[in-house]
Amino acid sequence: DAGVTQSPTHLIKTRGQQVTLRCSPISGHKSVSWYQQVLGQGPQFIFQYYEKEERGRGNFPDRFSARQFPNYSSELNVNALLLGDSALYLCASSLVRVATGELFFGEGSRLTVL
Amino acid sequence: ELKVEQNPLFLSMQEGKNYTIYCNYSTTSDRLYWYRQDPGKSLESLFVLLSNGAVKQEGRLMASLDTKARLSTLHITAAVHDLSATYFCAVDVSMNSGGSNYKLTFGKGTLLTVNP
């Protein structure tokens, strides 16, 4: 069975540009979460979506937005990119919105902002 | 705000030795997770600890949870080179008063290097 898939795997942008990252959860999983991992740090929670609704948001500026589609895939958008947005963006899926079990992470999208 | 602290942040050990990584957290939670991350890779789930006193073992790794002390440990027995990676603990925290939406708060990670 396919795991969590993310695209693109690597991308380079310049300051001020916009980026869209995509995630397909494991088949049957209805909850998708996004995390940002800056080099040398643990992942930080950005968003959680369940049944196409935002269920939680971390301490990130409004430049970050996301949505979930009827097929449960998700997009993360970041506008007006800053150098500090350079990071590995991880998508995770789970069966239910309550994380009483494992979160399954994708391979991530590595964003470099120049 | 929840704080999750791992100790040590860097660990260099010889093959065959034993060691323990500690994970302290600052708020009540009954769920704690351990993940492994290889360089440039994503997170691999190692253990899910869902109650006080939970102990799980897989190969040379054993994890335990003491919710009263707000402490989890990851014990490494007879380390081998293949265990070299960064290990993260993460605590499950409710995002709302109804307790129906959760997020994971991660520690900074422990970079483990096992030398021959």
Closest residue of chain B to A54, computed from CA coordinates: B101
Give the model confidence (pLDDT) of B10-63 as tens digits. Answer: 999 999 999 999 999 998 877 899 999 998 888 999 999 988 888 999 999 999
Beta strands in A39-108 (DSSP E): 44-50, 53-57, 64-68, 74-78, 87-94, 104-105
Q: Cα separation of B5 and B26, whole Å? A: 9
**Residue B92 DSSP SS3:** strand
Residues 35-94 of B with CB under 8 A from A: 35, 41-45, 48, 50, 88, 90, 92
Closest residue of chain B to A39, computed from CA coordinates: B40
Average pLDDT of adjacent 10-residue blocks, chain A of 114 residues: 90 98 94 93 92 89 97 97 97 72 88 97
Do residues B106 and B23 touch, judged by C-beta distance below 8 A? no
Give the model confidence (pLDDT) of B69-83 as tens digits. Answer: 999 999 999 999 999
Test A43 with B107 for CB contact under 8 angstroms.
Answer: no
Q: Cα separation of A3 and A104, whole Å? A: 8
Closest approach of A62 to chain B, Cα-based (Å): 18
At a CB cut-off of 8 Å and minimum separation 6, what does A29 contact? A72, A93, A94, A95, A104
How crowded is residue B114: how many other Cβ atoms within 10 Å of its Cβ?
20
Judged by a CB distance cut-off of 8 A, whether residue A90 touches chain B is yes
At a CB cut-off of 8 Å and minimum separation 6, what does B45 contact? A102, A103, A104, A105, B33, B34, B35
pLDDT at A100: 53
Q: Cα separation of B66 and B75, whole Å? A: 14
Which residue is it, tokens 């483990």? B112
Which structure tokens are listed for B49?
A: 């600890």
Read off the DSSP letter of residue B61: E
Residues 9-68 of A with CB under 8 A from B: 33, 35, 40-45, 48, 50, 55-56, 58
